[in-house]
Chain A
Amino acid sequence: MVALPEPAAAGAGWEPFLPGWIVLLPLLGFLVNGAAALLAPGRKAIPTWVGPGVIGLSFLIVLANLVSILGAGAAEPVVRSYWTWIAAGDFEVAAALQIDRLSIVMALVVTGVSFLIHVYSVGYMGADPGYARYFAYLNLFVFFMLVLVLAANFPVLFVGWEGVGLCSYLLIGFWFQEPAKAAAGLKAFIVNRIGDFGFLVGLFMLFAYTGSLNFQQVFAAAPQAFTYGSAAITITTLFLFLGCVGKSAQIPLYVWLPDAMHGPTPVSALIHAATMVTAGVYLVARASVLFALAPFTSGLVAGVGALTALFAASIALQQFDIKRVIAYSTISQLGYMFAGVGVGAYAAGIFHLFTHAFFKALLFLAAGAVIHGLHHAWARVGKHPTEDEVQDLRNMGGLRDALPWTSWTAWAGALALAGIFPFAGFFSKDEIIWSVGARGLTILWAVLLLTAALTAFYVARWAAMTFSGETRVPGDVRRHVHEAPTVMMVPLILLAAGSLVAGWLNVAPGLPFLPGVSRFHDFLAPVFEQAEAIWLAHAGEFEHVAPVGGDEGLWAIVTLALAGGVLYAVFLRVSARRLLPAARAPEPSGFARLLYRKWYVDELYDRFIVRPVLRASDVFWRVVDQGLIDGVFVNGSGAASRAAGWALSRLQTGDVSTYVVAVLVGVLILLAAALGG
């Protein structure tokens, strides 16, 4: 007889590989670089090697874990608990990490993109006096981001959540001597805190209803603790979503992200495109069980996402700053992701997050290469350029010849963003549009289709204004524009390759002429199993027809043709047109002006929120605190007591014991009166 092995569940007993070191390495990097920044800011060798090095090692550990998960087929999350962090009464959370398929995908994106951007930064920030400080902040950011995606409970996730906000704040204001930059960092932090308020209240509600804040316990208890569609789960998820709206820059809290572009460009690529801003999408996916139980909130998530996608894309049409266009694009693409997770297509949302990380990081790094090239050229002619001179699209044009590699890689990113086959964005975006349509949400579906066309418009305009047409760079400067060093170009090329191939991990079966591939979906399926069961029970299967008829294949071709047509038309038109440099260009008029002025939202917020709050502050202090309480009561009673004191001074004897006795007697009389009466 041969002893047959027990038929074990797939991957049971799988052990993660050094999970603690994934987060510890970036923290060590922060400590080393932070010490270097304070003690030896001039020495560049330490940050150059330690900064990217720790992230690279961390990436390798994540990769090893991914490979071993794939090998073992491990589907169940593994929690590693290090110490009890907070315990009081029946509440207890540990400093614990959870390794599962979703967290490892996120960690892979975070460490992979971070590593490339760290390497790029060696070149980009090479001449900056704050070099060591920069890498300290950047390492700290990666640490907090990994804590966020690997957390095993909500409070630890919140550590990462606020921590990345802190690093974002520090890095936006990295060049702190310029008031606009310091102000932008502050704005980001405060707007994010509004979201964090929602996040915290959401946690309090979760604890009140489920008695725990550990992911596994909360998600296991949620279907019993909350009735499907009840007010309790709706309100809880609404508060959580407020946190997501802040962090992921959705309407109405998106206003901080465009200003965040004041930070160094690699920071915009890493924090404000590829990783931190996607945390909100991650949270919805992570808490998919909760959102699946709250159909109203899910609908709102999808609605806010689609609306933001359209709104931000419309603003991007008329921006001239090379970074701001793609910043609004990021807001818009995050809207797509929310639309996906809002209709229960969690894997599709995360898939778009994944591909977006490649091409959006690429677009920012390419913009950085352009800025870098122009900056150096201006420096060569002995001038310190203004931000407009190196960042305004109207001052560029025709850079294709001077920056060939940058131009090609930027176009790869642009095509991926526009959703042009066979680039990554085609596959992931199509899937979201399709999922929204398949739920029968006709208006949202149409909005997302329209946005796809707008996306093609602004990104073609962006790339063409930068690289094609006649150059608008002044003649003497033009000659000195040169390609960025290798250390910056290699990350660009790798990301361009990623933008080309990442989409092929998952090819929706409905697409014509293509083999259906669902590696990405299958990999994440165990994570969303529970939530999908809830969707299935209450909302049914995804309908496999578009709301206006036609199947997925037809509409994929329509979308592609729309985006491709717009892209090509805009490219031709912008390349052929003679544009004026920024200084001589008139402000856009009519509707374009409304877009150029970003729908005047910042002005509205300033008028109706910021200034009233400040004015109220002043009124409270001067009128209530100093006027009413102090002026009338305190100083008034002070004056009264001085008068009384003068009268009573006649009774002064100077003998302390007399006073004590007098006070005691008085008190006793009062008490006796009170008791007797």
Chain B
Amino acid sequence: MLTAIVGGLAHNLSYFYHSHLVLTTLVFFPLLGVAFCLALRPEQARWVALGTSLAEFGLSLPLFWTFRVGDPGFQNVTKAAWIRDWGIAYAVGVDGISLLLILLTTFLTPLAILSTWEYVTRRTRAYYAMMLLLLTGMVGVFVALDMFLFYVFWEIMLVPMYFIIGVWGHERRIYAAMKFILYTALGSLLMLVAIVGMFWLTMQRSGAPSFAYLDWLRVTVPSGLQLWLFLAFALAFAIKVPLVPFHTWLPDAHVEAPTAGSVILAGVLLKMGVYGFLRFAIPFFPNVALDARVAMAFLVLALLGILYAAWVAAVQPDAKKLIAYTSVAHLGFIMVGLFAMTSQSVQGGILQSVNHGISTGALFILAGFLYERRHTREIAAFGGLAAVVPLLSASLVIVALSSIGLPSLNGFVGEFLILLGAFRTHPWVTVLATLGVVFAAYYLLPMVRRIVWNPLDKEENRTLRDLSRRELAIMLPLVAMIVLLGVYPRPFLDRIGPSADAFVTVIRADAWAIEKGQPRVAVSPPARAARPRAQPAQPRVRPEEPPRGSQPGERPAR
């Protein structure tokens, strides 16, 4: 009897984690929390938000193990018609590129919510509802395989962030929120233009309207339009990344946002730009992205980000602003990885997206801890903290070291892979990017020194309290991940590897095919999935695939 129940449960769970249901649940479950947040009393909202986000993390975690390692294609896919006349569908799926970003999102959100546990006192219900709505938007962006759906989630995600900065931010929050929304609206608009263009082209080619990501991958864009559509996408994502010179929204947004906002902004939202390049801008226009001049232009911008932002970071008097500029530098490394287009550099880029989310998230959280103690972000207001708050100081030192890429901590693995791979295709760019390694020490360690070390000469700092239990509960998982990813990144790379390798091969093959005027080889990672596994050519019917997943007359997505 009991075994039957357990067996049935296990079977159902297995079904759940091998079908799209887990993704769909991850996308929409936070909305339930939103409803409860708004319905319950204000003081209950934070518990609802914490519970929801923790449950979301718990739900998402098994995906790490149920994910089929070695399969470069999309898993847990579904596709259900939504607006049939326009070819719009509810299509989701996960592959090695998005898996870790989804888990990063669900991992960071509860920590972010805990980080402002006592800070947010005004309009708490709205605040926590926004955080959960943001979660829905972010997960949605990473799982969407329909371009319309993607765009909807993309916009959904921007709205809560705008309010989080504008309503619960610090003194200059209105300016920062305005700047954030102006920049991103410009990006969104460009992307919308590009999406409409791609839709139109797809319809022209295949005769049927479709927003399906996989259909769009087969479209060869006319050569006159390639560059323009690519640039429209690329600019939208470049703002998000951000690439220099589209980065000036970022320091303001980070500084003015409450801690949770900064954490999510740096940890996840910037990765949307990286993800956009990986998923859309480059695969849709592989020959443009591989074009020597275009690639070099982006590599130079990324390089500028690494060196210039490091340079600017070094003189910031404001801790959060300094950390914000380090993000620009780190994301520069990731972009070098993408545009160098080798197996190591792309894998490193994806892994580094995760690493950066953890390390920079942790840095912002620590900056938040300091702010809550002294109500200032001025680095000069601190000094000698190691003598009064050893746990906080030790955390700051470890996290800073991870951020500057100390080997045996997480930042090194990604940075090393990026540079190792990039050197094969762009040695000069790589040598210059490696200079960023020197610079990283030059901008972050002086901050550590001025906060943690030096004389304890300010009276207010003598009575600071060390990390509370809540704060320890935030820091410990972050530090654990920093060490784990540095010492044993293999399980993570195993999951990234096949998809990243497929990405590189397909982009190269596709670019070649387009140049030669042949049909795109491609297509998409999923089609190739069957090849290495030497499976029969006909699509397998998986038991866990729900019947409504495939539309009559349409190719199954797998």
A-side residues, CB < 8 A to B, are 37-38, 83-91, 95, 155, 158-159, 161-163, 166, 169, 173, 176-179, 182-183, 185-186, 189-190, 193-194, 196-197, 200-201, 203-205, 207-208, 613-614, 616-618, 620-621, 624-625, 629-630, 633-634, 637-638, 641, 663-664, 667-668, 670-671, 674-675
Contacts and interface: CB of A to CB of B under 8 A. Distances in A.
Residue with the highest number of chain A CB atoms closer than 10 Å, among B197, B408, B427, B440: B408
A88 B343 contact: yes
10 contacts: A85-B487, A177-B454, A182-B453, A193-B437, A193-B438, A203-B420, A614-B314, A629-B245, A667-B196, A674-B225
Interface string B401-430: 100001110000100110111011001001
B401 to A, nearest CB: 7
Given A177-B384, A201-B431, A90 B452 contact: no
B316 interface: yes
Most buried by B among A158, A173, A182: A182
Contact of A88 (B192, B390, B407, B497): B497
A499 B312 CA distance: 51
Contact of A208 (B312, B424, B456): B424
Given A38-B390, A88-B493, A190 B401 contact: no
Nearest to B312: A621
B491 to A, nearest CB: 10
B176 to A, nearest CB: 12
B420 A197 contact: no
A89 B501 contact: yes
A197 B435 contact: yes
Given A197-B438, A621-B315, A663-B192, A83 B490 contact: yes
A193 B454 contact: no
B419 A629 contact: no
Contacts of A176: 384, 386-387, 452-454
A173 B455 CA distance: 12
Interface residues on B, range: 35 or more
B243 to A, nearest CB: 12
Interface core residue of B347, B430, B453 (most chain A CB under 10 Å): B453
Contact of B493 (A86, A155, A162, A633): A86
A597 to B, nearest CB: 26
B504 to A, nearest CB: 8
B309 to A, nearest CB: 9
A266 B205 CA distance: 75
B406 A162 contact: yes
B228 A159 contact: no
Given A204-B419, A620-B312, A667-B193, 12 more contacts: A88-B497, A89-B347, A91-B344, A166-B406, A177-B387, A182-B449, A193-B441, A207-B420, A613-B442, A621-B312, A624-B312, A667-B192
A674 B222 CA distance: 12
A38 B225 CA distance: 62
B445 A190 contact: yes
B407 A162 contact: yes
B421 A84 contact: no
B36 interface: no
B196 A186 contact: no
A227 B390 CA distance: 54
Interface in B435-463: 435, 437-438, 440-442, 445-446, 449, 452-456
Nearest to B497: A88
A645 B451 CA distance: 44
A179 B453 CA distance: 8
Contacts of B312: 617, 620-621, 624-625
A88 B408 contact: no
B381 interface: no
Most B CB within 10 A of own CB, among A91, A616, A624, A670 = A91
A158 B405 CA distance: 12
Nearest 6 pairs between A and B by C-beta? Answer: A89-B343, A176-B453, A204-B423, A182-B453, A617-B315, A159-B407
Contacts of B501: 89
B55 interface: no
Contact of A186 (B413, B431, B437, B445): B445
B329 to A, nearest CB: 13
A196 B437 contact: yes
Contacts of B454: 176-177, 179, 182
A617 B192 contact: no
Contact of A155 (B251, B308, B416): B416
Contacts of B442: 190, 193, 613
B455 A177 contact: yes
Name the residue among A90, A179, A670 with the largest chain B CB count within 10 angstroms.
Answer: A179
Nearest to A34: B394
A256 to B, nearest CB: 12
Contacts of B420: 91, 203-204, 207
A602 B314 CA distance: 21
Given A616-B311, A667-B192, A38 B343 contact: no
A179 B343 CA distance: 45
Given A201-B434, A670-B193, A671-B193, A155 B407 contact: yes
Contacts of A613: 311, 442
B348 interface: yes
Contacts of B192: 663, 667
Contacts of B183: 634
Contacts of B452: 176
A136 to B, nearest CB: 10
A190 B446 CA distance: 10
B119 interface: no
Nearest to B193: A667
Given A83-B488, A207-B420, A208-B423, A675 B343 contact: no
B437 A189 contact: no
Nearest to B386: A176
Contacts of A630: 248
B10 interface: no
Contacts of A169: 445
B407 A158 contact: yes
Nearest to A634: B248
Contacts of B440: 193
Contacts of A163: 406-408
Contacts of A186: 445-446, 449
A260 B55 CA distance: 50
B178 interface: yes
A173 B182 contact: no
A83 B488 CA distance: 8
B456 to A, nearest CB: 6
Contact of B315 (A183, A196, A618, A637): A618
A89 B346 CA distance: 10
A190 B316 contact: no
Contacts of A197: 434-435, 437-438
B391 interface: yes
B421 A89 contact: yes
B434 A87 contact: no
Interface string B191-214: 011001100100000000000000
A205 B182 CA distance: 44
Interface string B82-94: 0000000000000
A395 B183 CA distance: 65
A348 B163 CA distance: 69
A609 to B, nearest CB: 12
Given A85-B490, A634-B179, A620 B308 contact: yes
A347 to B, nearest CB: 29
Nearest to A94: B490
Nearest to A638: B182
B489 interface: yes
Contacts of B407: 155, 158-159, 161-163
A24 B343 CA distance: 33
Nearest to A675: B225
B178 A638 contact: yes
Interface string B376-397: 0000000010110011001000
Contacts of A638: 178-179, 182
